[in-house]
Chains A and B, each alone.
Chain A
Amino acid sequence: MSDNPLKSAMQWLARNPIWSFILLIFIFFSIANPYFFAIQNFKNILVQTSTIGLIALGMTLVMINGNIDLSVGAVVALAASLCVDIQDWHIFAGWGDWAILPAVLAALAAGTLLGALNGLIVWKTGVDSFIVTLGAMLGVRGLVFVYTKEQSFFASNFAFSDFGSSNIGPLPTLAVLFILCTIVVHFLLSHTVHGRNIYAVGGNRAAAVNAGIRVGPHMLVNFMIVGFFAALAGITLSSQMGAATPNLGTNYELWVITSVVLGGTKLNGGAGDIIGTFGGVLAIGILRNGMNLMQVPAFYVLVILGAILIAVLFLDKQLNRKGKEELRL
């Protein structure tokens, strides 16, 4: 009996290899670099992770649904530009710090609306979400350049950038925000009707339709959620810098998808969870931070991350094989 908890823990790790992987790289960097194992650095990792992490929460829903959203990076840039620009508009001149509120709301609304547009096109045309959001990725990035006239914006109100570097108790505000959102989305996915339907639609769309689920509106909601989180990530990112550039968020869609897939979500849909995604973004965050501290050149970091993604997925496939007798196709 004594080996039972151990055995179930091992089984859990075999099903979720990402956590063993995190443990491994954590120990490695702790030994390899004297600056890694420090409370301040852990806070840094959480803050750095929060941007990709917030988007990954929404992306997990969309990907379990069997869809994908490639436009999130461009939405990050649009939301950041809107948020930093609007708070300096003349009509809000007398509002003081309250000018930040309409700016944040406008940015969130823009992200949610673009998500709704993606979802609406996927629903009404039936075109694959990969193609629709690929178009949106190009189009929205273009919009950002039109809107900003290729200029960067700087927030003149320091309250905005103070928020990005503030703390709640011992933890950075942005890390707290990310963890709260993670908990909310986790319960949304695992304990609500909408969450159940996400798995059903991704697992077997025909069966979901047969069970009376209105698949189109359902997918629309998930695209709105990922759009909202991309905009939120844009706002937090610009508040860290007190500025927004039109190139912000480039390649973020790739980082996000890598994290989500590392966390065990299947590209075909129907499987995945938020705890896995949290592990996935954490793994990417630790790797980037650790290699950064060890002064690995940025381009090598990309090479290593790419190799690790493939290796982890290969390992996952091996661990979850149904034995050697499984049919090989």
Chain B
Amino acid sequence: MIQLMIGRKLDLSRREQAAGSLGEVALQVEGLSCGDLYQDVSFEVREGEVLGFYGLVGAGRTEIAETLFGLRRPTAGTIRLGAEELNHIASPATAIAHGISLVPESRKEQGLVLGMNCRDNMTLPQVGDLTSGPFVSDGAEIAIFDQYRDTLQIKTPSWRQAVGNLSGGNQQKIVIGKWLAMRPRILIVDEPTRGIDVGSKAEIHNLIRKLAGQGYAVIVISSEMPEVLHVSDRIVAMYHGRVMRTFTADEVTEDSLVAAISGIDQGRAA
């Protein structure tokens, strides 16, 4: 029945499992709630691990990311970052200081200043540290841009190009580069491949795996099942603001995942 709903067969082109190479717990969330948006959410992410969040739109995944990034105040619960335990994160500036980065859901509305050039967009969160005397140091900024343009293979004629003129995939890479340049401990990516071409999608999926391999703790929020299945080590399935079940990559099947996020599983999860 569920296979009929999806309309295609399970195709797991799964990467080789990197089990055993996980580091310490980078982020542990317990009993986190935010009014009606989500309730009693608990999970943990380790360094070197990709944690996928899967669910329908409105299941509360983006809201959890916004809470972790200091854009929303939780009403209950604790957030443990390494050894530090917090009730909330006051602002994005605080989140950034704690080594959390968020690649937001909508790159045009939240991620980029479209009229600004590529370099300035990429260095925006850290431009305060790139000064010589009272002025911004052009050289330091260009060095960072060049480095991440090469790493992420961003295609742009020059750093002077306004970001609004780039393709969707390249825009998304600018946003990702912006946050990688901050060298975060925890990278949250919300719908990383929405509205970009197939080639760039694959590149971004590989990049996420590579980042985990380098020891980043990565949280991937996605509404695309193949994406979640492909990149995640573990998958949190959400339904109506609640965590229904957490799967490991070995035990997850499309059927069980769809069952979990549509609430069919409710009896068993509770």
Please give the residue numbers on chain A whose beta carbons come within 8 Å of chain B beta carbons, in ascending order: 187, 191-193, 196-197, 199-200, 203-204, 206-214, 270-271
Contacts and interface: CB of A to CB of B under 8 A. Distances in A.
Interface residues of B, number: 27
Interface of B: 69, 71, 91-93, 95-96, 102, 104, 109-116, 120, 124-125, 127-128, 131, 134-136, 178
B151 to A, nearest CB: 20
Contact of A206 (B96, B110, B128, B134): B110
Given A209-B71, A210-B104, A212-B92, A204 B136 contact: no
Given A209-B71, A209-B92, A212-B96, A193 B128 contact: yes
Contact of A192 (B91, B95, B120, B135): B135
A267 to B, nearest CB: 14
A70 B93 CA distance: 31
Given A210-B92, A212-B93, A212-B125, A204 B135 contact: no
Contacts, number: 68
Given A192-B135, A200-B124, 10 more contacts: A199-B120, A200-B120, A203-B113, A204-B114, A206-B110, A207-B113, A208-B124, A211-B92, A211-B124, A213-B93
B92 A200 contact: no
B91 A214 contact: yes
A210 B178 CA distance: 11
A196 to B, nearest CB: 5
Contact of B110 (A193, A196, A210): A210
Contacts of B136: 191-193, 196
Given A199-B116, A210-B92, A192 B134 contact: yes
A197 B136 CA distance: 12
A206 B92 contact: no
A204 B127 contact: no
Contact of A203 (B93, B111, B116, B131): B116
Contacts of B111: 207, 210
B131 A208 contact: no
28 contacts: A187-B135, A192-B131, A192-B135, A196-B120, A197-B127, A199-B115, A199-B120, A200-B116, A203-B115, A204-B112, A206-B109, A206-B110, A207-B109, A207-B110, A207-B111, A207-B124, A208-B124, A209-B71, A210-B92, A211-B92, A211-B124, A211-B178, A212-B92, A212-B95, A212-B96, A270-B113, A270-B115, A271-B115
